[in-house]
């Protein structure tokens, strides 16, 4: 029996069908338009299959409490055509199979937990550093959610003394996303990160902010492993700097295995989002390590 998966991004949708072993049987990618046109594409893809369930990793904000009447409703998004649209209801009414909804970054965390860099541990944190910054925490197969989904990209970090950049976040000048996202990099230096590869001071400052966040996540969540993904993390100089600064900031207060094993990169070649949506769709019957 096949499960459906949807990675609902702000710029593109990815739809896939796969099995319980995490093998994608077929996949389709198309631009995100308004709900009506986008779901036409979704239905055109899935109509060839008999599905056991569907998992969705979606852009947000989105209601994740299944006990609420508006479960699966997208909230105050800048994508105005999607504001107050209930993607859960739209899919349940069409396919009449179990549908499970989570955030896009939580789905990516699930993908790495089951089939990637987190498959050997019980508790892992996935952080994406790209246009924005987000993080998803998985503990024994369950993603962390509270009254709403956590916004770990917006935690406050201590500004470097010489840093005069105002920050790119319209809500918080000194939040992690405002100081260290890809958007912040471009606003700060006037160039995208891939054009700043040789500028050591750029990555020293980037690591300075990301390391602070990772130390805070370490102390609060106590993950077994932290996985750093996203476009900004493709800069090879960055990971060693982050490991070094995290080690210095922790000052041996927390006993960890080697930093090389604690802070790692993804293993799923940018497929963690759709694979996590697949895992989410199998929530009712999936057991980690099952064959």
Instruction: Write out pLDDT tens, residues 191-213.
Output: 999 999 999 999 999 999 999 99
| Mean pLDDT to the nearest integer, 25-35 | 97
Of 39 and 289, the one with more pLDDT: 39
The count of other CB atoms within 10 Å of the CB of residue 179 is 30
Instruction: Write out pLDDT tens, residues 55-84.
Output: 999 998 999 999 999 999 999 888 999 999
pLDDT at 147: 85
pLDDT at 41: 97
State what percent of residues in the chain have pLDDT above 90.
89
| Mean pLDDT to the nearest integer, 181-186 | 96
Residue 16 CA to residue 10 CA, distance in Å, equals 17
DSSP secondary structure letters along 79-147: SGGGTT-BHHHHHHHHH-S-EEEEEHHHHHHHHHHHHSTTTT-SEEEEEEESSSEEEEEEETTEE--SS
Instruction: Write out pLDDT tens, residues 99-153.
Output: 999 999 999 999 999 999 999 999 999 999 999 999 999 999 999 998 888 999 9
State what percent of residues in the chain have pLDDT above 70.
97
| Mean pLDDT to the nearest integer, 179-191 | 96
- 3-state SS, one letter per residue, for 188-247: HHCCCHHHCCCCHHHHHHHHHHHHHHHHHHHHHHCCCEEEEECHHHHCCCHHHHHHHHHH
Q: Is the pLDDT of residue 257 over 90?
A: no
pLDDT at 289: 38
Average pLDDT over all residues of the chain: 94
pLDDT at 283: 76
Residue 208, CA atoms < 13 Å, CB-side half-sphere: 13
pLDDT at 287: 36
pLDDT at 291: 30
């Amino acid at each position: 029996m096949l499960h459906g998966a949807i990675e609902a991004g702000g710029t593109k949708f990815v739809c896939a069908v796969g099995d319980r072993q995490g093998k994608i049987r077929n996949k389709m990618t198309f631009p995100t338009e308004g709900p009506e046109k986008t779901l036409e594409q979704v239905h055109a893809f899935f109509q060839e299959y008999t599905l056991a369930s569907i998992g969705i990793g979606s852009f947000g904000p989105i209601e994740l409490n299944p006990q609420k009447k508006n479960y699966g409703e997208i909230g105050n998004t800048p994508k105005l055509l999607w504001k107050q649209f209930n993607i859960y209801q739209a899919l349940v009414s069409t396919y009449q199979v179990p549908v499970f909804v989570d955030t896009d970054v939580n789905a990516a965390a699930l993908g790495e937990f089951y089939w990637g860099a987190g498959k050997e541990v019980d508790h892992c944190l996935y952080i994406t550093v790209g246009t924005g910054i987000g993080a998803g925490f998985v503990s024994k197969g369950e993603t962390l959610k509270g009254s709403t989904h956590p916004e770990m990209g917006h935690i406050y970090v201590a500004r470097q003394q010489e840093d005069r950049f105002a920050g790119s976040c319209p809500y918080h000048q000194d939040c992690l996303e405002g100081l260290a996202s890809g958007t912040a990099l471009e606003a700060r230096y006037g160039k995208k990160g891939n054009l700043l590869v040789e500028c050591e001071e750029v990555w020293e400052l980037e690591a300075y902010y990301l390391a602070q966040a990772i130390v805070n996540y370490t102390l609060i969540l106590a993950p077994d492993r932290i996985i750093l993904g996203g476009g900004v993390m493709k800069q090879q100089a960055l990971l060693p700097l982050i490991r070094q600064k995290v080690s210095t900031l922790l000052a041996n207060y927390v006993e960890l295995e080697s930093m090389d094993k604690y802070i790692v990169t993804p293993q799923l070649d940018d497929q963690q989002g759709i694979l996590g949506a697949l895992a989410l769709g199998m929530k009712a019957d999936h057991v980690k390590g099952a064959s």
